[in-house]
Amino acid sequence: MTLMHGRRGLIVGVANARSLAFGIAKAARDEGARLAVTYQSERLALGVRALAAELQAELCLPLDVTQDAELRAVRQTLEQHWGAVDFVVHAVAHARKEELEGPFIQTSREGFHEALEVSAYSLVALAREFAPLLASGVSPSLLTLTYLGSGRAVPNYNVMGVAKAALEAAVRYLAMDLGPRGIRVNAVSAGAVKTLSAAGVRGLRSLLAFAPQVAPLGRNVDSEDVGRAALFLLSDLSRATTGQVLFVDAGFNIVGVPQAPQGVS
């Protein structure tokens, strides 16, 4: 019997084969989960449908998380198809490119609103819509993705750091709200990974080169690392864990002052 045998899960945010959402979906599928995936726009539809076929997903549905009607339509489709949902993965984040370069103080009102709505409020909207289906599921779990920039000032991460801070606060409040219904809510804070969304942050290449020099495990992480950690939070292995942020960054987050290279004192 595999870890996720027969569990029904919705993955929101698959963009391409390098995305963390795909890594999580693949890990869940390999452990026996039944999947539904969504695509954000028709521009991405063809690529996501191909990935859905690779994942043997039962459904591939359009979903713009800023549209309540589309959230409702996906929920109704899954209710008709499965009756209940055992896990939901929220892997959605967005900020305007111009907000991810230059000083944070120049963040526009419109850019701030857009980043917070897509990257943080969407988790609340998703939770509200799918809570009834999750409450009927087996060991139900809601999982999102965050980053170290939520609690530390990371160059060029800017408004996305503020959005991730709001997202992590939402995880705690949702865990409090949904706990009495048996639903766990957690987040994975992944280290820097070269994904489509991360590519919009200036200096990513430098960060990817720097992190292995500082992280205790001496390496970067990838979508497979994140997928395996997500399995813990999606499965019965974490049945008493909620409202938490699990770091998957080779230990990068624990380092205060980087050690000098060997031979240097």
In a domain, 255, yes or no: no
In a domain, 45, yes or no: yes
In a domain, 2, yes or no: no
Q: Is 39 in the active site?
A: no
Give the span between the Cα atoms of 242 and 102, in whole angstroms: 36
In a domain, 118, yes or no: yes
Catalytic residue among 39, 121, 147, 173: 147
End-to-end alpha carbon distance in the chain: 53
Q: Please tell me the pTM assigned to this model.
A: 0.93
> How many domains, in total, are found in the chain?
1
Parts of the chain with a pLDDT under 50: 263-265
Catalytic residue among 39, 121, 157, 173: 157
In a domain, 265, yes or no: no
pLDDT given at position 264: 42
Query: How high does pLDDT run on average in the chain?
Result: 92
Cα torsion 105, 123, 215, 265: sign: positive
Burial 128-142 (b: 16+ CB within 10 A, else e): ebbbebbebbbbbbb
pLDDT given at position 194: 66
Place of tokens 């954000």: 40
Q: What CATH number has the domain bearing residue 193? A: 3.40.50.720
In a domain, 261, yes or no: no
Structure tokens at 182: 């048996």
Tell which residue, 143, 106, 151, has the closest CA to residue 127.
Answer: 143
Pair 219, 212: CB distance under 8 Å: yes
pLDDT given at position 263: 45
Pair 116, 96: CB distance under 8 Å: no
In a domain, 260, yes or no: no
Cα torsion 32, 12, 224, 239: sign: negative
In which domain, by residue range, is 128 found? 8-250
User: E strands, the chain, where?
Assistant: 8-12, 34-39, 59-62, 87-90, 141-146, 184-190, 245-248
In a domain, 38, yes or no: yes
